[in-house]
Each structure stands twice: as C-alpha cells, then as structure tokens.
Amino acid sequence: MKIRVCFYLFIAALVSVSSRVEAAEISTSQKTQSIQILSAWARPTTGPSGAIYLELHNSTEKDRTLIEAKVCGTICDHAELHTHIHEGDIKRMRPIKDIVIKSGETKSFQPGGLHIMLMGLKAPLREGQKVPITLVFDNEEVVQQEVMVQQLASLIRKGDNEPLKSCCDS
Ligand SMILES: [Cu+2]
C-alpha cells in the first residue's frame, strides 16, 4: 500500500514537473516568436545610404509596434524607419517614428514603401554581404536577423511587380 502511494506521488510529481516545463517552453517560444521576419534583403549600394526591405509577421493576438531598427556602427552611422509619401506626382521618403504591425498581419517593407534606411554607410554594401539588424518593439521584444545584400531581380516573385524606385541610393 505504501509503495502504491509513493508511486502515485511520484507520478503526480512527474506530471507537475512536465507541465511546468511545457509552460516554460510555451512562454519562451511566444516571447521569441511573436514577430517573425519572413524575408529580408538589402540592395547593393554605391552612395552614402542604403535600405533594408523585409516582411514582418505578427503571430500574436496583440498589435505590435516597431519602434527602432539598429545596425552595427561598423556598417553605418545609424538606421531610421522610413516610409514614402506622395507630393503631387513625386514620391518622397520620410522618417517615421514607428510602424504598427497588427495582430495576424504581415507587413511588407519594400522599394517605394516602408524601409529601414541605413544612414552614413561606412563602406558600400556588396552583394553577398550580410548585415546584422536588431528590431526593437514597444513591448521590449527584440528580433535579430542577418540581412543578405542582393539585387532586387533575384527576389521578384510571382505577382510582386512593384517597380524599383530610386529613393535610397540618391
Ligand atoms: Cu529612406
């Protein structure tokens, strides 16, 4: 009888430990995966500035706001969040304070639209180079990714025919 009680206690302890481990795993994965970078790339550059384009997916039930993009100081002076606005027939880029990614939304940063602007490049971005970026969100979540430098032509997908606007190399 005593052995049986011990056995039940042992099982109960196992279940409790495993459910705690499970809970810890879930909270960790939610923390690290609430915003996913689906794709990211940067164009090779010739001028003093560059741009990073990506797709961010918010898999959480809450809206998230991108408040800052950081790039290593050996790559450029600093990074800014930019968008494009229409001024008459001309599209101009402008810095913006933050970018909201709604719950379940995939937000595309692409030429002629949202982008992460790299200001004061220390050296031209060359094809095949990887640029490490850090994205900071309003809930203090941080997402890091290495961004490949490549030509737009290699990334054009079916139905993705947004023409390239010269906004960031000038
Ligand atoms: Cu820009």
Lowest mean pLDDT among 13-22, 53-62, 74-83: 13-22
* Cα-to-chain-centroid distance, residue 75: 18
pLDDT mean over 133-157: 86
Ligand 1 centre to CA of 166 (Å) is 10
Ligand 1 centre to CA of 145 (Å) is 20
Confidence of residue 19 (pLDDT cuts 50, 70, 90): very low
Read off the DSSP letter of residue 114: -
Q: Is the dihedral of CA 131, 78, 114, 162 positive or negative?
A: negative
- For ligand 1, a single-atom ion, the residues with CB < 5 A are 82, 93, 117, 168
Q: Are 119 and 77 in contact (CB under 8 A)?
A: yes
Answering whether pTM is above 0.85, one says no
Which pair of tokens denotes residue 2?
């005593």
- Within 13 Å of residue 60, how many CA atoms lie on the same side as its CB? 21
pLDDT mean over 149-161: 62
Confidence of residue 152 (pLDDT cuts 50, 70, 90): confident
Ligand 1 centre to CA of 157 (Å) is 23
